[in-house]
Amino acid sequence: MTHFIQVLIDAVAIGSLYALVALAIGLVFGVMRLINFAQGDYITIGAYSLVVPSAAATPALMFGALPWPAMILCVILTVVVLALVTERLAFRPLRNSDLTSLLISSFAVSYFLQSLILMVHGGRPKTVSIGDALSRAVEIFGVRLPGVQLLTMVVALTLLIVLVLFLKKTPIGIQLRAAAEDFQMARLLGVPANRVIAIAFAISGILGGTISLLVIIQTGTLDIRMGLMPTIFAFFATVIGGMGSLPGAVVGGYIMGILSVLLQAYLPAELRPFRDAGVFSIVILILLVRPQGIFAKTAKERV
Amino acid sequence: MLKIEQVVAGYGRLTALKNIDLRVDKGEVVFVVGPNGAGKSTLLKTISGLMAPTSGRISFQGERVDGKAPEQVCRKGLALIPEGRHIFKTLTVQENLLVGAMIRKNAMEVRADMEMVLETFPILRERYNGVAGHLSGGEQQQLAIARSILQRPTLLMIDEPSLGLAPLMIDQVYSSLRQLNQTGLTLLIVEQSTGRIMDLASRIYVLRNGNVVLEDAPGNLANGNALDAAYFGFSDNAA
Amino acid sequence: MSESRKEKLEAIDVHVHFGGVKALNGVNLSLQSGDILGLIGPNGAGKTTMVNVLSGFQMPHPGTVKLNGENVSNLSARKMARAGIGRSFQSARLFPKLTVLENLVIPGLGIGLSRRAATSQARDILDWIGYREDPDRQCDSLPYSDERRISIARALALRPSFALLDEPASGMNEQECDRLMQIITRIPQEFGCGVVLIEHNMHVIMGVCHRIHVLDGGKSLAEGTPDEVKKDPKVLRAYLGEQASRPEAVI
Amino acid sequence: MLILKRMFPVIALVVPLIIVVFVIDQFGTGNMQRVSTEALVRLVFAVGLYMFVGNSGILSFGHMTFCAVAAYASAWQTCCSMMKPTIMSGLPAFVRDNTFPLIPSALTSVGLAGAVALVSGLVLMRLSFFSASISTLALLVIMNVVFANWTTVTMGNSTIVGLPVYVTIWGALAATVVVIVLAYLFQNSRWGLMLRATREEEVAAQASGVSLYWSRFIAFTLSGFVAGLAGVLFAHFMGTVSLSNFFLNHTFIIVAMLVIGGMHSLAGVVVGVALISAVTEVLRQAEAGYSIGGLSFAVPPGTQELVLAVTMLLILIFRKDGIMGGKEFRWPWPARSDRLAIEERKVASVQRSS
């Protein structure tokens, strides 16, 4: 029984994590038709900002040394600024180019950021420990759960709820959703294009920064490509959920999370390392059955 | 109020507007009619800022607006309901209306206008919290008009309000447009068929192949021949 | 074109709905090889939707499309093209980076001709349509009227049993329209196929079509020879609205 | 005469390559020969990727998969016969217990890569334009996860060393020339032309009877074989095979070359690879440190990738179709038959206007 609860907690924790990244990607895709590879590097740079740039394997803490609230604020601020800068310099000039050029440009920006980290922090993975108080297990209904899992689940869920409320209730949130659905019409009603796109990138920065912290607390290691896998998972979450649909991105995120946790828990021991390969094979099968995704928003191109 | 002088606009090699001169005075209801592909929609897109004209001048209440972004043009009081209405299907009726009122500063006024709009279009009050995508064609048209009125424009442009609507619904839409005009709203309407426009129009422009081929008050167009000739490019004898 | 090989294309009780809007509401249409059928109606009457149904881009539900008596309603656009339904598009949709010649070779390859046969057929059609310029020119640099003519040529390069032309004359001046009308009238004899012509330019419609089918609001309003349709009050009202329904008004 | 005109775009690429290789072979330093051979192998892979991406317009991140499959397949057959039973115990007995001659093992490796491309193409090409592109990324990840964890067969993340090194600069050039000619013949073949039509206008291509699925599938499989060939060449040039060579950063460099040179023409690929290989080599030496007149300075590591990424962005913004702009090197002088045709038209147009 405890095994099942453990799997459940894991599924919701990882599902919420992927849902957050998928939302960030879905928002930017909604307002700009851009699948942002660089989202992964926002997460990586957020994590690396915890330490002082050096080649050392266990570097001195930078933001990591600050008290909790200040650390969280600094990391998230770094990533938000980074997201806004990449939008302003790299993506704005490409605003109405075709889907493939946008995809390639985000691929180039991602590579640029990775090389930047390589230059500043060196290539070798590093270890950093923050919030080790959390690694103690926590006792709930007689079940021993690692504190980190609970934290991830709680933070991710609350952030998800806050974001949904923001999108549903606040004027800016409504404008963002309107722009994500019909960008031209939103502008005709006065929604300023530049501001809406900047807000979408800023939100993807906030989500990115939060995920950096959650990942670091869980793994404690800094690696140049740590943001890559969650982002690829989030790509497929948005594609399965239905491109451009924000609820679709969240549902897609949970599907990916639950799939990987289930495979992790129930695959035979020797097949367990092949879990991700299994997840992506299933994802391709889902796309074969339903290419336009679950919440397909855009009707088939009318001739 | 709105002046368009020698405007040329197009898509790459296809010039949809060839040297257009057109004006709309305060309180008028001006219609622009013409066969498909005459450049009617391009005209509205150019005025609203969705498209920049290749040459020529567009001025609204004395101020140059050609080449300005749509979000600036609409803040000057020039609203557009594009072809196909473009309501936000995944948002609720209320949210659609709120986006419309977005550029307004005075919250009190907005609430009053919201009441007025829900009065004019009762169906919107009924479906206030429903998802806009579930509305019928006619209801979506009313929502689009209501949403634009909330911008409190001085000139409202509409691209083919009767497109894809049942005849009964078209009459309803036209009667609400007449009501709005009587409250002082100037209208510039692009229409395909000339049927219903005669009693509402102050002036009519006929556009064909990117040129204005006829401009007159409905009174002296009543005999129809001039209108047929302009509309189809030939009069009885040439048919 | 031997008289015996008369082919027949029929649309029977075709309905198409997009969300709340009924684009086609029980339309019946039929034509044979050699016919030129005009399809007219005010904007949003369902003309392009009808062409999409006949060319396999849109499935009618309910309703059937029959080619020589055989039900082809659920064939894909590609299979309909290979079954002999060639079409052009309102916005031309040529292959911009391919040359004019290559644009006409593609349909030949599509129906299974060899590379050589498709190329020679393409050159013949270019001559037939009167295109004298450089065949190796890329289509994204073509003048507008050439682009319209090549999009018709591409539909014919499919050796179709029926060619569906979607507003070929849009944006053309009077002189270009006359040249286009000559081309369209000669299609049935030269290619032995039937033609469905969607057009807003009444001059072209009246001058070219053997019969005209009028659509309005997704329903058939009238069908007949150009003279019959010209005088039909229902058509005038749909097109020109109320005031035009007096008997002597003529389009 | 006509053949020369039709094949000119290929000749215009192959002849300069042969000249450059000849010069480097005669006068170049050992290092220059090594770098040029590696560039040629990279060009083979780039041309393979171009055969699919350039003609279909669908960006593929997954072609490194076929490269890796071929490299490992060749390693299984030709490498470390003594150690094989212990370090690669998972291999089927037939392969584990003996070593195969070079040519057959190369051919079977390329065949295996092609087979993997065929199977994955059957599935992936069914997807719509955009999800197909993203799903090739899934293909790459699946390959990477499987190879990283199938340690008894692939030795996981550690490197397989001791492969026979037989790829010389002339061998690499021969493969490059074969692949360029193959790519040119394919893009002008019936399937290549139809595929390019789908890239230009999917809807119009269907209305012209072209099958999106089969045209994309054929290109995907063919390019899989070519990528496999590049994998074998790469393995037997380096003498080692390690998984890290077949992941995203190598994919990025090749995509950058395609974008900068111009993704829609063979000339674009060759120009892109040649130019970027030269620039990255200069930067790599800069990173290693130059000493000019006593003072030596070194550019920080990672500069290569930075410059590459920035160049790519600038190209995307200011010259979207790359240096070659989707054009091949055309026959500059109008052949006799064309000159006549142009004269005719001038005469005809004079009559028409007078």
Contact call for D and B: 3+ CB–CB distances under 8 Å: no
Tokens describing residue D150: 């199938």
- A34: Cβ–Cβ under 8 A, 6 or more apart, which residues? A28, A91, A102, A103, A105, A106
Q: Which residues of C touch D348 (CB under 8 A)?
A: 132
Q: Give the residue-averaged pLDDT of C201-230.
A: 87
CA pair distance C210, C189, nearest whole angstrom: 14
Confidence (pLDDT) at D215: 95
How many angstroms separate the CA of residue D49 from the nearest CA in chain C? 20
Tokens describing residue A248: 């679709």
pLDDT in tens, C70-94: 999 989 999 999 999 999 998 889 9
Confidence (pLDDT) at C9: 93
Q: Which residues of D touch A284 (CB under 8 A)?
A: 123-124, 127, 135, 138
CB contact under 8 A, C94 and D201: yes
Query: Is the confidence at residue C226, as pLDDT, over 50?
Result: yes
CA pair distance C168, C170, nearest whole angstrom: 6
Greatest Cα-to-Cα distance within chain A, rounded to the nearest angstrom? 61
CB contact under 8 A, D302 and A235: no
Q: Which residue of A has its CA nearest to B97?
A: A189
Q: Which long-range contacts (CB under 8 A, 24 or more apart) does D9-12 make?
A: D9/D184, D9/D266, D9/D267, D9/D328, D9/D329, D9/D330, D10/D180, D10/D181, D10/D184, D10/D266, D12/D267, D12/D328, D12/D329
Q: Which residues of D touch C81 (CB under 8 A)?
A: 206-209
pLDDT in tens, A1-53: 667 777 888 888 889 889 999 999 998 998 888 999 999 999 999 999 888 88
Asked whether residue B85 is assigned to any structural domain, the reply reads yes
CB contact under 8 A, A108 and D135: no
Which residues from B are below 8 Å from C when comparing CB atoms?
13-14, 16, 35-37, 133, 135-137, 140, 160, 163-164, 166, 192-198, 209-210, 222, 224, 227-228, 231-234, 236, 238-239
Q: How confident is the model at residue A300 (pLDDT cuts 50, 70, 90)?
A: very low
Report the DSSP beta bridge partners of residue D292: D295
Query: Average pLDDT over chain D, rounded to whole?
Result: 87
Domain extent listing, chain C: 8-226
Q: Is D302 left (phi over 0), alpha (psi -120 to 50) or beta?
A: left
CA pair distance C28, C15, nearest whole angstrom: 10
Q: Give the residue-averaged pLDDT of C19-46.
A: 84
How many CB contacts within 8 angstroms connect chain A with chain C? 7
Question: Strand C194-198 and strand C36-40: pairing?
Answer: parallel
Q: Which residues of B touch C206 (CB under 8 A)?
A: 239
Q: Which single residue is written with the structure tokens 């590609």?
A: C78
Show the 3-state SS of A164-228.
HHHHHHCHHHHHHHHHHHCHHHHHHCCCCHHHHHHHHHHHHHHHHHHHHHHHHHHHCEECCCCCH
Coil/strand/helix, residue A158: helix
CB contact under 8 A, B232 and C246: no
Confidence (pLDDT) at C249: 35
Q: Give the residue-averaged pLDDT of A116-139.
A: 77
How many angstroms separate the CA of residue D126 from the nearest CA in chain C? 15
Question: Strand C8-18 and strand B186-191: pairing?
Answer: unpaired
Residue A223 sits at the chain B interface (C-beta within 8 Å): no
Tokens describing residue A270: 């020797």
Work out how many domains chain B is built from and give that number.
1
Query: Is the confidence at residue A54, as pLDDT, over 50?
Result: yes
Asked whether residue D321 is assigned to any structural domain, the reply reads yes
Q: Which residues of D touch A123 (CB under 8 A)?
A: 301
What ipTM was estimated for this complex? 0.84
**Closest residue by Cα to residue A180 from A228, A248, A237:** A248
Q: Which residue of A has its CA nearest to B147?
A: A189
Confidence (pLDDT) at B85: 82
Confidence (pLDDT) at B155: 93
pLDDT in tens, C167-211: 898 777 788 888 899 999 999 999 999 999 998 788 888 889 999
How many angstroms separate the CA of residue B154 from the nearest CA in chain A? 14
Q: Give the residue-averaged pLDDT of A145-170.
A: 85
Confidence (pLDDT) at A136: 67
CB contact under 8 A, C48 and A303: yes
Coil/strand/helix, residue C190: helix
Range with the lowest mean pLDDT among B52-56, B68-72, C108-112, C247-251? C247-251
Output the DSSP codes for D221-285.
Answer: HHHHHHHHHHHHHHHHHHSEE-GGGGSHHHHHHHHHHHHHH-TTSHHHHHHHHHHHHHHHHHHHH
Contact D60, D226 (CB under 8 A): no
Tokens describing residue A250: 């969240």
Q: Which single residue is written with the structure tokens 């060759």?
A: D270
CA pair distance B51, B10, nearest whole angstrom: 9
Q: Which residues of C touch A299 (CB under 8 A)?
A: 18
CA pair distance C241, B89, nearest whole angstrom: 32
Confidence (pLDDT) at C251: 38
**Which CATH number is B184's domain given?**
3.40.50.300
Q: How confident is the model at residue D194 (pLDDT cuts 50, 70, 90)?
A: very high
**Closest residue by Cα to residue D75 from D233, D240, D230:** D240
Range with the lowest mean pLDDT among B80-84, C214-218, D144-148, D208-212? C214-218
Q: Give the residue-averaged pLDDT of D327-340.
A: 67
CA pair distance A81, A87, nearest whole angstrom: 10
Residue D301 is nearest to which of A104, A109, A119, comparing CB atoms?
A119
Residue B75 is nearest to which of A171, A178, A190, comparing CB atoms?
A190
Q: How confident is the model at residue D98 (pLDDT cuts 50, 70, 90)?
A: confident
Q: Which residues of B touch A189 (CB under 8 A)?
A: 74, 99-100, 102-103, 147-148, 151
Report the DSSP beta bridge partners of residue B20: B7
pLDDT in tens, B115-174: 988 988 888 998 999 989 888 878 888 899 999 999 989 999 999 888 767 777 888 888
Query: Is the confidence at residue C45, as pLDDT, over 80?
Result: no
Task: For Cα atoms A286, A292, A297, give the angle at the middle one, nearest 5 degrees.
Answer: 135
Domain residues for B9? Answer: 2-232
Coil/strand/helix, residue C75: coil
Report the DSSP beta bridge partners of residue D205: none
Q: Which residues of C touch A302 (CB under 8 A)?
A: 18
Query: Is the confidence at residue D131, as pLDDT, over 90?
Result: no
Contact B71, A190 (CB under 8 A): yes
CA pair distance A110, B61, nearest whole angstrom: 48
**Which CATH number is D40's domain given?**
1.10.3470
Superfamily of domain C8-226: P-loop containing nucleotide triphosphate hydrolases (3.40.50.300)
Query: Is the confidence at residue A86, as pLDDT, over 60?
Result: yes
Which residues from B are below 8 Å from A when comparing CB atoms?
48, 50, 69-71, 74-75, 79-80, 82, 86, 88-91, 95-96, 98-100, 102-103, 147-148, 151
Asked whether residue D353 is assigned to any structural domain, the reply reads no
CA pair distance B113, D88, nearest whole angstrom: 78
Contact D240, D159 (CB under 8 A): yes
D:309-348 residues touching chain A, CB 8 A cutoff: 309-310, 312-313, 316-317, 320
Query: Is the confidence at residue A301, as pLDDT, over 60?
Result: no
Confidence (pLDDT) at D336: 53
Asked whether residue D352 is assigned to any structural domain, the reply reads no
pLDDT in tens, A166-196: 998 999 999 998 988 888 899 999 999 889 9
**Closest residue by Cα to residue C100 from C119, C117, C113, C78:** C119
- Percentages helix, strand, coil for chain A, rounded to the nearest 5? 75, 5, 20
Asked whether residue D69 is assigned to any structural domain, the reply reads yes
CA pair distance A263, A257, nearest whole angstrom: 10
Tokens describing residue C102: 């290559």
Contact C187, C34 (CB under 8 A): no
How many angstroms separate the CA of residue A296 from the nearest CA in chain D? 13
Contact B202, B185 (CB under 8 A): no
Q: Which residues of B touch A181 (CB under 8 A)?
A: 88-91
Count of beta carbons in the 10 Å neighbourhood of residue C180:
24
Percent of chain C clearing pLDDT 90 (strictly above)? 49
Domain residues for D227? Answer: 2-332
Please, which chains are in contact with C (at least 3 CB pairs closer than 8 A)? A, B, D
| Nearest 10 degrees: Cα torsion C105, C107, C110, C111 | -110
CB contact under 8 A, C241 and B194: yes
Report the DSSP beta bridge partners of residue B205: B32, B215
Residue D201 is nearest to which of C93, C114, C132, comparing CB atoms?
C93
Asked whether residue D131 is assigned to any structural domain, the reply reads yes
pTM, two decimals, is 0.86
Asked whether residue D218 is assigned to any structural domain, the reply reads yes
Query: Is the confidence at residue C41, as pLDDT, over 60?
Result: yes
Work out how many domains chain D is built from and give that number.
1
Confidence (pLDDT) at B230: 59
CA pair distance A248, A254, nearest whole angstrom: 10
C:53-112 residues touching chain A, CB 8 A cutoff: 57-58, 89
Query: Is the confidence at residue A121, as pLDDT, over 50?
Result: yes
Contact D250, D41 (CB under 8 A): no
A2 to each of A8, A154, A266, B33, D347, how far by Cα in Å? 10, 19, 14, 73, 91
Q: How confident is the model at residue A302 (pLDDT cuts 50, 70, 90)?
A: very low
Task: For Cα atoms C207, B223, B197, give the angle at the middle one, nearest 5 degrees.
Answer: 90
